[in-house]
């Protein structure tokens, strides 16, 4: 059954670069951003057009990027530099300013490199490592205030509390809609695939956010009319896999393709280019303070350290998502030199083992040289899960 709204979203994404050019001709300004903790609510409320930058999976861009940074930087950051170096990506060309937060410091280095070599107008937001300590939270509030002041100057307008309230509502609705979409892709006879939902999340990096929300709501209405409320009930013997780990940005389809080819079914993710940014954002007041508090109290990105295993909310979140999506195995994707995620692979595996959930780490880059090796692993993992299903059914 074809979902009509899906086609509309795809069409809208295709038209978006042209739209941006036109909007800029009329005086609108585009604020591109990358890393993990830039609150789009503020960008939007200031009348700027937010665009989340960055793609993956293109080894030529990685090569270009490596001329400026090093092969000891992860391929995502190398490609990011490559994108700016080549300067053909429509979103990069159309960004009037590039905002970068200092969550992953390797990605922060990219901001320094593109400022120096390509004269990109960057704006930096500091992020504390002690996100749960009062002094860390205070630091982030101050940083976000200062960031906003600079953005106000750039936008030529001051942050207006009505506009901010509207913006917060818009983003809350987007996040709510995406969470609902994730439920649909996880039900037994999936009316929409995880991969399609993942692409829709990425469409939200680019589309006008109001239009995006209306498309999301239209899609949810279509799904409800055709399939009713999403209930994740019976499982049908699929090898249900949740993807976790390093960022999988738009364009990086290597692992996803392989999992599909070997017959695995992805039923969810806790990726920062997937569901994670939609989780756990509780803005208590329509102010910079409210937004700072909400962002810093989210389940943190892996670059921010948890010293205590017992209170690690990342693992708690992962376990919850496994339960919610009835996943039977976790494919833990790590990019080479993405230490934030790679270093956690062993421990995450041990933690999930206790829960009876197998984890397979795939440590890779964008080059195609290891596709067959990954295929073998992914296939064996699917065999393992299926075999486990059979044994459990027999028991």
Is 391 near another protein (CB under 8 A)? Answer: yes
142: CB partners within 8 A, 6+ apart: none
Determine, following the binding rule CB under 8 A, whether residue 59 of this chain makes contact with another protein.
Answer: no
Phi, psi (degrees; rounded to nearest 5) at 157: -150, 160
Cα separations in angstroms, 193 against 9, 13, 134, 346: 15, 19, 42, 29
Pick out residues in 64-83 that bind another protein (CB under 8 A).
Answer: 68-74, 77
Which range of residues in 15-23, 111-119, 148-156, 241-249 is near another protein by CB under 8 A? Answer: 111-119
Return the bridge partners of 269, or none: 243
Q: Examine residue 309 and tell whether it contacts another protein (CB under 8 A).
A: yes
Residue 250 engages another protein in binding (rule: CB under 8 A): no
Site for another protein in 256-295 (CB under 8 A): none
Residue 12 φ then ψ, to 5°: -60, -40
The yes or no reply on residue 150 touching another protein (CB under 8 A) is no
Does the protein bind another protein through residue 128 (CB under 8 A)? yes
- Structure token digits, residue 205: 């990096």
Query: Which 190-229 positions form the footprint of another protein (CB under 8 A)?
Result: none
Which residues are paired to 227 by β-bridges?
Answer: none
Helices 134-155 and 288-296 cross at an angle (nearest 10°) of 130
Toward another protein, which CB reaches closer, 152 or 370?
Answer: 370
- Whichever of 118 and 154 has its CB closer to another protein, that residue is 118
- Per CB under 8 A, which of residues 343..372 are in contact with another protein? 343-347, 349-350, 353, 358, 360-365, 369-370, 372
306 contacts another protein (rule: CB under 8 A): yes
d(CA 103, CA 35): 7
Q: Which residues pair with 360 in a beta bridge?
A: 331
Q: Are 81 and 47 in contact (CB under 8 A)?
A: no
Q: Contact between 319 and another protein (CB under 8 A)?
A: no
Q: Among candidates 117, 115, 110, 116, which has minimal Cα distance to 73?
A: 110
Nearer to another protein, 110 or 216 (CB): 110
The count of residues interacting with another protein (CB under 8 A) is 71
Shortest distance, position 146 Cβ to another protein, whole Å: 7
Kindly tell me which of 181 and 255 has the beta carbon lying closer to another protein.
Answer: 255
């Amino acid at each position: 059954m074809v979902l009509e709204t899906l086609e509309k979203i795809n069409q809208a994404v295709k038209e978006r670069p042209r739209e941006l050019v036109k909007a800029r001709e009329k005086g609108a300004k585009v604020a591109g951003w990358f890393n993990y903790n830039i609150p789009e609510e503020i960008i939007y409320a200031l009348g700027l057009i937010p665009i989340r930058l960055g793609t993956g999976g293109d080894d030529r861009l990685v090569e270009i990027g490596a001329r400026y940074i090093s092969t000891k930087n992860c391929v995502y950051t190398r490609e990011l530099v490559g994108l700016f170096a080549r300067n053909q990506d429509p979103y990069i060309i159309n960004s009037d300013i590039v905002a970068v937060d200092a969550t992953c410091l390797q990605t922060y280095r990219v901001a320094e490199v593109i400022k120096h070599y390509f004269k990109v107008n960057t704006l930096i937001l500091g992020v504390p490592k002690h996100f749960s300590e009062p002094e860390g939270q205070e630091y982030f509030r101050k940083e976000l205030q200062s960031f906003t002041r600079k953005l106000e100057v750039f936008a030529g307008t001051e942050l207006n509390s009505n506009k901010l309230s509207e913006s917060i509502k818009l983003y809350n609705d987007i996040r709510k809609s995406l969470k609902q979409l994730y439920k649909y892709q996880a039900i037994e006879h999936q009316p929409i695939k995880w991969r399609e939902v993942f692409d829709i999340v990425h469409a939200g990096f680019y589309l006008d956010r109001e239009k995006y929300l209306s498309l999301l709501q239209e899609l949810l209405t279509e799904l409800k009319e055709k399939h009713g409320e999403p209930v994740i009930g019976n499982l049908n013997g699929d090898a249900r896999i949740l993807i976790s780990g390093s960022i999988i940005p738009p364009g990086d389809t290597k692992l996803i393709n392989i999992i599909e080819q070997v017959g695995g079914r992805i039923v969810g993710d806790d990726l920062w280019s997937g569901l994670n940014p939609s989780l756990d954002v509780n803005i208590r007041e329509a102010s910079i303070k409210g937004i700072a508090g909400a962002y810093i109290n989210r389940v943190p990105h892996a670059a921010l350290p948890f010293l205590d295993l017992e209170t690690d909310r990342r693992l708690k979140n992962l376990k919850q998502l496994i339960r919610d999506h009835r996943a039977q195995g976790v494919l833990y994707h790590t990019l080479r030199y993405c230490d934030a995620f790679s270093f956690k692979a062993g421990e995450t595996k041990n933690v999930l083992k206790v829960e009876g959930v197998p984890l397979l780490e795939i440590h890779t880059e964008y080059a195609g040289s290891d596709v067959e090796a990954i295929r073998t692993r992914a296939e064996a993992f699917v065999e393992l899960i299926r075999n486990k299903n059979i044994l459990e059914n027999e028991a």
